[in-house]
Amino acid sequence: MSKYDASDIQVLEGLEPVRRRPGMYIGSTDQKGLHHLVTELVDNSVDESLAGYAKNVWVVINKDDTVSVIDDGRGIPVDEHPKVKKSALEVAMTYLHAGGKFGEGRGYKVSGGLHGVGASAVNALSEWLFVEVKREGRIHFQEYSRGKPKANVAVIKETQSKDLAADIWGRVKSGTLTTFLADKKIFSITSLDFKTFEKQVRERAYLVHGLFFHLYDLRTDTEKNFYFEGGIASLVAHLNKNKNPIHSPIYIQKVSENLSVEVAIQYNDSLSETVESFANVINTLEGGSHLTGFRMALTRGINDYARKSGAIKSGEDNLIGDDMREGLTAIVAIKMDSAKLEFEGQTKTKLGNAEIQPIVNAVVKEGLDIFFEENPSEARRIMEKVVLSAQARLAAKAAKDSVIRKGALEGMTLPGKLADCQNRDPALSELYIVEGDSAGGSAKQGRDRKFQAILPLGGKILNTERARLDKVIQFEEIKDLIIAIGAGISDTFNIEKVRYHRIIIMTDADVDGEHIRTLLLTFFFRYMPQIIEKGYLYIAQPPLFKLTAGKEEQYAYSDEEKDALVKKAASKNMSIQRYKGLGEMNPIQLWETTMNPENRILKKVNIDDATAADEVFNMLMGGDVPPRKKFIQTHAKYATLDV
């Protein structure tokens, strides 16, 4: 038996725990985690605004992928910390759980950085970082290497920043400037995605009144500025910009000594729901007690008014929560004492404070009652919307009961067009959804029947963005797909019953093929989003070209790859065939190029931003033409036309 004593217990000091287990502090070490670093610094500046000081936050993405975050707040204290006997700046940057969020009433009352690891975690995960603090006319400076100070805090005469950051900092009388380079030893990607980060900054601008956000990307010479006087009511209007709202936004606010509750609600004529929740400006992606309280109040408030107004007749059942979701766009935001805030997980994605639920419930119920009484015509339109949704729900339930029997859901009565695989282990099985019977026939012949199933589609499926569930499941091609997957649909969907853990869309490389692919993606996003979230959905990449020189054949999957092969071969006798459809390949070619796991190319479908995805699907596949026309006109120059 090996020796096990006190010497085996490892003690990690300073910021070493962050470097050893970065995922515990920032969620991941991919680009999402990289964005989290910047938002930690931005949220420190937001805290200064919530405390009544900072009026501006500047974020500069420099040409070398370094990032500078500047605010015009009070500046991090630089005097000696009474307990640690070091500058408070160094303490804030090098100690976990150190910051203005932990003081007894002396720090930040409202703060997003609950755990106090923001700046120090950024420091720990940076190849290098420096901070400059302006207080009382002096610039205080400290530089770090992977979280460790290179020297003591010192007063400097000139800024160490360059270019735009230096220009901005020169105009700031007091505040904090932080510049860092993410550590390549930690992060797989060290270059920020501007569009993703822009959304995160815009969110905070909606949530924090009186704070200007200035975002610059010097890599592409891009500038964005955000300031929204209307707050979350403006955010709701932004989320509904490509939809048709049926009433003006409902804005509900109540501020007490210990809690601020803000809610904005606006229904539109679409079939989808967009609801976001925030706690101290942090986007709680998994919801929590504040969102639960909101949903309870919405259901109760609408039911009460529906009965009072006669939208629900005596003897009829109450509307249920699902009836309220169709076409709902809403923002739920709370602000409270950061010391009492409870999140589930370091990355703060779910609010855990149980006492918040009844408070939000009461505030929203009261606000809805007042709005309905004062705006009867708009209340009537909302009632008509949710009652119609309830009728559709009942119709869909009846359709499911009649069209999809229990045995079919469990895969006992599979569709005749499906060529199933022999393997019954979902983790080892894959389903190819193939455009056209011709390509479907080739795929059936060329596949490895042990683990590959084939389901041919006879043509374009129904646009599910514009159809309710009862119509969706009556469409023959979609019904076959639902039964083949075997996990139900919508509210009855059970991810544990999915029969294949790789579901692969394989369509022609032409306009029709891309349209069919988009229709399928719309279906999965709207009715089986769990498949995308689990990482089960893929897009096959068939070759675009076959290059033949004598008896030698090569395949190219892009124009660039084709040009490179032609250049390498330097052969005047080479013939080039452009594949227009999957049916042009025989079974062996289809296997070798597109289905063989040894050399095929698959693109995994994922949802980085559900709200943005909802916006795109609604714009491209919804019934409102002007937004789609504008999108096409704006992006036409980027289209690749094969004519």
Superfamily of structural domain 16-226: Histidine kinase-like ATPase, C-terminal domain (3.30.565.10)
Q: Are 594 and 506 in contact (CB under 8 A)?
A: yes
Contact by Cβ (8 Å): 259, 336: yes
Q: Which CATH number fits domain 232-400: 3.40.50.720, 3.40.50.1100, 3.30.230.10, 1.10.3720.10?
A: 3.30.230.10
pLDDT given for residue 348 in this prediction: 60
Closest CA to 136 of 177, 175, 99: 175
Q: In angstroms, rounded to a whole number, what is the distance separating the alpha carbons of residues 529 and 617?
A: 13
CA-nearest of 407, 399, 417 to 459 is 417
Give dist(CA 50, CA 109) in Å, integer. Answer: 8
Encode 346-396 in three state secondary structure: CCCCCECCCCHHHHHHHHHHHHHHHHHHHCHHHHHHHHHHHHHHHHHHHHH
Domain boundaries, the chain: 16-226, 232-400, 404-542+603-613
Catalytic residue among 262, 508, 592, 615: 508
Look up 221 and say whether it is catalytic. no
Cβ atoms of 45 and 71 within 8 Å: the answer is yes
Catalytic residue among 143, 342, 378, 510: 510
**CA 298 to chain CA mean position, Å:** 25
pTM: 0.71
Distance of CA 584 to the CA centre of its chain: 38
If you ran DSSP here, which 8-state letter would residue 267 be given?
E
Cβ-proximal residues to 152 (8 Å cutoff; 6+ apart), any chain: 87, 90, 142
Specify whether the CB–CB gap between 381 and 268 falls below 8 A: no
Residues of the chain with pLDDT under 50: 1-13, 101-108, 112-116, 405-411, 643
Query: What is the token pair recorded at 302?
Result: 């609408």
Instruction: Report d(CA 330, CA 295) in Å as an integer.
Output: 10
Active site residue: 435, 477, 480, 615, which one? 435
- Best CATH choice for the domain 404-542+603-613 from the list 3.90.1150.10, 3.30.360.10, 3.40.50.670, 1.20.1300.10: 3.40.50.670
DSSP secondary structure of 216-266: EETTTTEEEEE--TTTHHHHHHHHTTTS-BSSPPEEEEEE-SSEEEEEEEE
Spatial distance between the Cα atoms of 201 and 72, rounded to a whole number of angstroms: 17
Catalytic annotation present for 435: yes
Yes or no: say if 336 and 272 are a contact pair by the CB < 8 Å rule. Answer: no
Alpha-carbon 109 to chain mean position: 29
- Among candidate residues 16, 286, 378, 512, the one labeled active-site is 512
Active site residue 491: no
CA distance 239 to 310: 31
CA dist., res. 19 & res. 551, Å (int)? 55
